[in-house]
Amino acid sequence: MINRRNFIKYLSSAAIINYIFPVPFSISQSNNDYRDSVISLLINLILPVKSIDIIKRTGILSDLNSKISDNPKMRDIVDYGIKWLNFNSNLLYQKEKFVELDADQQLEILNYTFNSFQSAYPAEPDKPWTDIRYGKLFLNNLRTYTMNEFYTSETGWKFVGYNGPPQFMGNPDYSKCTN
């Protein structure tokens, strides 16, 4: 039987060993890697730019990850949205993950999600991601966030041929205006 003092020694030694020899790959890390791959794929489908280098330069994915880690509700929406995409890829194309589909199949699922009001398959109460509302909420928020971040970045300005950020030139002097 282990007493309290030995239990505390065990916990502290396990923490020190984990600090010295960190485990390189955990379940949550692999889940985050998959989430990043799905979000990167969706960003590629949303933006008019098809270069991963440009998307990395804007920092959309890293900014989104920091916001997801700070906000548990946002994390739930993103996780349920990705589960929604996986659920539909399995339901429609018998593929376990959304990233395994080809581009036409991915676009078909996205168009279905944006244009439909109810799921093709009835939502299950114990699996909230089977409800189309989570897919719509996730995709609409990701689309809005991506477009805002891209077109307010220097990379987005260069893409559309604009040389710099909008500058406030002051209020017009209406006394100098002529009719």
For residue 142, being part of any structural domain is answered with: yes
- How many domains would you assign to the chain? 1
Length reported for the chain: 179
Three-state secondary structure string covering the chain: CCCHHHHHHHHHHHHHHHHHCCCCCCHHHHHHHHHHHHHHHHHHHHCCCCCHHHHHHHCHHHHHHHHHHHCHHHHHHHHHHHHHHHHHHHHHHCCCCHHHCCHHHHHHHHHHHHHCCCCCCCCECCEHHHCHHHHHHHHHHHHHHHHHHHHCCHHHHHHHCCCCCCCCCCCCCHHHCCC
For residue 178, being part of any structural domain is answered with: no
Residue 23: its pLDDT value, please? 37
Residue 16: its pLDDT value, please? 45
Residue 155: its pLDDT value, please? 80
pTM of model > 0.85:
no
The range of the structural domain enclosing residue 97 comes to 27-159
Residue 2: its pLDDT value, please? 54
For residue 63, being part of any structural domain is answered with: yes
Residue 68: its pLDDT value, please? 86
For residue 164, being part of any structural domain is answered with: no
For residue 52, being part of any structural domain is answered with: yes
- Distance in angstroms (rounded) separating the CA atoms of residues 92 and 109: 9
For residue 115, being part of any structural domain is answered with: yes
pLDDT average per 10 residues of sequence, the chain (179 residues):
50 43 38 86 81 70 85 90 92 92 91 81 76 89 89 81 72 73
For residue 132, being part of any structural domain is answered with: yes
Residue 7: its pLDDT value, please? 44
- Distance in angstroms (rounded) separating the CA atoms of residues 38 and 176: 56
For residue 16, being part of any structural domain is answered with: no
Residue 118: its pLDDT value, please? 75
